[in-house]
Amino acid sequence: MTIHVERLRDDACLIVHGPDQPGIVSAVSALITRNRGNIVSLDQYTDDPQGGGFFQRVVFHRADLSAAIPELEADVAATLGPLGLSWRLTDRSVPKRMAVLASTSDHCLLELLWRHRRGELPVTIPMVISNHTNVAEDVRAFGIPFFHVPSQGPDKSDAEARILELVKGNVDFLVLARYMQIISEDFLDEVDVPVINIHHSFLPAFIGAAPYRKAKERGVKLIGATSHYVTKVLDEGPIIEQDVARVDHSMSAAGLQARGAYVERAVLSRAVQWHAEDRVIRNGNQTVVFTDRP
C-alpha cells in the first residue's frame, strides 16, 4: 500500500533467495533478533518443497539503522553465505532513483509523476527523457528535469549513447513509459540496471507492434496490459504485473487504445511501486512478487 518515505525511517528490507533447505526462516529471524531488529512483515516462498528455490522478503525495524548497516551486512553475509544464499539489504528510507523514458504518449508518464508527488512511490525521479518534446512542459511543472533525446532513423546508437551518458551512475532503474523504441542488447548490457517496460497487450498475446489493432482484428472481449523487465528478447521478459478491461464489438482499434490507456497506467504504476519496494524477485524468466495488493 501507500508508502510515505518519512514513515520508513529505520526500516530495513532484506531479500534472500537461493536453494531451499530447512532452517532458513529461523536463521534469518534469529539474525534479525540478535541485531535488535523487530520484524514488521515477512513473506516467504518455496517453489518446490523438494530441492526448489527459496525466496524471502523481511521488513524489520531497527533503531539507528543507518549506523548499524555495516555490522548487519557482515552478520547476514556470515549467516547466509555458508548456505549458498544470495541476499540484498536495503534501508527503506533511502528511495531508489528512477529515470523515466517516454515518447509522445503522456498517460503512463503523468500517472507516475502524479503518484510520486502524492508520496505513494518511494523513489526519486532525477530525470525524464523523451524522444519528443510535447511532454516537456508537464514534466517540468512537477519540478523534474526533462531531457530531449531525438531518436530518428533506423540507427538508434547515437540516441542510446546520449541516454547512457545521462543515466549511467545516476539511476537505480529505468522505466519505459510507452517509450516505443526497441532497446538494443548493447544498451541493456551497458546500463546494467533493471529496465521496466509496459506493453499494451495481455502478453503473450499480441507481441510486438500495434497490439490494439491486432486485438480488434481478432475480436477479443478483453484488452490488457503487461509490465515486465526488459530482456534481450522482445516482449519476453519476466512479467511483473498484468490486468485487463472489458471491451466489445462497438469499439474501434482507437477506442480499444483509449480504454487501454487506463489499464496501462495502472499496471505500470503497480509494477514500479512493487519494484521500488523490493517486492519483486526474478526467478529465471518468471517473477516472485510479494505484493501488498489484497
| Spatial distance between the Cα atoms of 12 and 38, rounded to a whole number of angstroms | 10
Q: Is 235 a catalytic residue?
A: yes
Residues of this chain, 95-134, that bind a copy of itself according to CB under 8 A: 107, 110, 114, 118, 120
Q: Which of 41, 86, 134, 184 binds a copy of itself (CB under 8 A)?
A: 41
- Of the listed pieces 127-135, 153-161, 173-181, 282-290, which binds a copy of itself according to CB under 8 A? 282-290
Distances (CA, A) of 12 to 35, 62, 89: 12, 7, 7
151 lies in the binding site for a copy of itself (CB under 8 A): no
Distances (CA, A) of 241 to 203, 228, 271, 272, 289: 10, 7, 6, 10, 9
Residue with cell 513509459: 177
Supply the DSSP symbol for 17. E
Catalytic position from the list 91, 106, 172, 235: 235
Distances (CA, A) of 137 to 130, 133, 148, 214: 12, 8, 12, 33
Q: Which of 206, 212, 273, 278 binds a copy of itself (CB under 8 A)?
A: 206
Minimal distance in Å, beta carbon 255 to a copy of itself?
4
CB closer to a copy of itself, 21 vs 157: 21
6 lies in the binding site for a copy of itself (CB under 8 A): no
Minimal distance in Å, beta carbon 204 to a copy of itself?
5
| Spatial distance between the Cα atoms of 99 and 185, rounded to a whole number of angstroms | 19
Which residues 6+ apart lie within 8 Å of 84 measured at CB?
Answer: 18, 19
Closest CA to 3 of 287, 272, 282: 272
Q: Helix, strand, coil % (nearest 5) of the chain? A: 35, 30, 35
Size of the site for a copy of itself (CB under 8 A): 70
143 lies in the binding site for a copy of itself (CB under 8 A): no
Q: Which residues are known to be catalytic?
A: 235
Q: Which residues contact a copy of itself by CB under 8 A?
A: 1-2, 22-26, 29-30, 32-33, 36, 38-47, 49, 61, 107, 110, 114, 118, 120, 141, 202-206, 218-222, 224, 238-244, 246-251, 254-255, 258-259, 262, 266, 283, 285-289, 291-294
